[in-house]
Chains A and B, each alone.
Chain A
């Protein structure tokens, strides 16, 4: 939000389908947050990795 990036949030505590979807895309992760950006799935919050993954958004919007 601070960086003005739009995202869709799924509350996995309320939506059991979302848990299943999350486990599927993350190869079995049962923890939060799981963040899917472009083709990459990040498990947990790692500032550096998130920053790096966000680069693909900049690239795709530049095209």
Chain B
């Protein structure tokens, strides 16, 4: 007899569980209700040798009860026996899931796959923050390379080892408890893995002022390297007083007409860049000014700034505002489950362990100082080797 025959009894909790399990997986079954002593009961006893409900027959063969059913399904045997496609029903369990596609994540995936661990990399993009700069001059072996080329080399190198990738979507939540961790991409997809390496990096810190959120991409920008060319001939403002703000001014100096630099503090970047900025005739610097509002309906039309000394408000007519006031770690996914420092960075030990068995972190999202491509890549390697050590000790 082909298919599932299901012996059940009213009021039996595991019968209900098994039925809803099959219904959820959209697997058809023939239900036979039994009661002790009935003909059906005798039939069940004869075919399964058991007097417990539920009893399940697969193609006429006794297969046990609820837990056996779940087990057969999770190992893929059920679908195979029933001739069903095993596409979505079998969730492979990975050895390593790497979350994040910057240098840390890519190198972690490379090292993990070289240890022949079943590895998948999940990331919104490949390159991470590196993609936001134009070139890199301090990665060993490359005295000067465009970041697009460097990322391509990284990606090709990882690809060589056949790492699976899920790129273009973000992880929405994580379940890190238990031996098998779960990584959720919305309601669409769940990945299972014995270890998780978090390499989610950092993102630009927002100003949190009126007008900022709804004008992102419409004059509000966080990446001068990416977006400066779009402001050719325009008047723009750069917010911040550190190196990244100064570099944004330099990027914009090539294309924009007028650049206002607005900083809460005196300029704090390297003197050599400060001098360069101060020497530009296009730049006007406001230090000890707070940015209080971004003005504009459909696009940015100006900003309001406030003197910290006098409290006076001024309006600057600009078409663009580049916000360069530092970075925030992308640790939101684990902020409740892992220990983070006062900046929100995941605290790790010297071998990238994040305080929960099987969970590792690396790169800019961690408390490791000096946010550099070469350091992030090195940390990624460490995290993967650490995951490998964890896995061999588990077996």
Contact = CB atoms under 8 A, between A and B. Distances in A.
A29 B218 contact: yes
Interface in A17-59: 19, 23, 27-32, 43-45, 47-48
Nearest to B298: A28
A29 B217 contact: yes
Contact of A19 (B216, B217, B230): B230
B298 A32 contact: no
A25 B181 CA distance: 45
A60 B221 CA distance: 36
Interface residues of A, number: 17
Contacts of B169: 47-48
A27 B219 CA distance: 12
Contacts of A12: 229-230
A23 B299 contact: yes
Interface residues of B, number: 18
A30 B233 contact: no
> Which secondary structure characterizes the binding site on chain A?
loop
B217 A43 contact: yes
A10 to B, nearest CB: 12
A28 B218 contact: yes
Given A16-B233, A43-B217, A28 B299 contact: yes
Contacts of B319: 30
Nearest to B219: A30
Contacts of A27: 298
A13 interface: yes
B317 interface: no
Contacts of B168: 45, 47
Which 4 A-B pairs give the minimum distances between C-beta atoms? A13-B229, A31-B217, A47-B168, A28-B299
A31 B299 contact: no
Contacts of A14: 229
Given A31-B218, A32-B226, 11 more contacts: A14-B229, A28-B218, A28-B219, A28-B298, A30-B231, A30-B320, A31-B216, A31-B226, A31-B227, A31-B230, A32-B230
Interface string B303-322: 00000000000000001100
A37 B366 CA distance: 40
B53 to A, nearest CB: 44
B232 interface: yes
- Interface of B, secondary structure class, is loop
Contacts of B217: 29-31, 43-44
Interface string B15-35: 000000000000000000000
20 contacts: A12-B230, A13-B229, A13-B230, A19-B230, A27-B298, A28-B299, A29-B218, A30-B218, A30-B230, A30-B320, A31-B216, A31-B218, A31-B226, A31-B227, A32-B226, A32-B227, A43-B217, A47-B168, A47-B169, A48-B169
Q: Which of A12, A14, A29, A48 gathers the greatest number of chain B CB atoms within 10 Å?
A: A29
A45 B227 CA distance: 15
Contact of A31 (B221, B232, B233, B298): B221
A43 B218 CA distance: 10
Nearest to B319: A30
Query: Which of B168, B217, B227, B298 has the largest count of A CB atoms less than 10 A from its CB?
Result: B217
Nearest to A50: B168
A12 B173 CA distance: 36
Among A23, A30, A43, max chain B CB count under 10 A is at A30
Contacts of A23: 299
Nearest to A44: B217
B166 to A, nearest CB: 10
Interface in B168-219: 168-169, 216-219
A36 B169 CA distance: 21
B86 to A, nearest CB: 25
Nearest to A45: B168
Nearest to B299: A28
Contacts of A48: 169
Nearest to B230: A30
Contacts of A31: 216-218, 221, 226-227, 230
Interface in B222-238: 226-227, 229-233
A43 B221 CA distance: 14
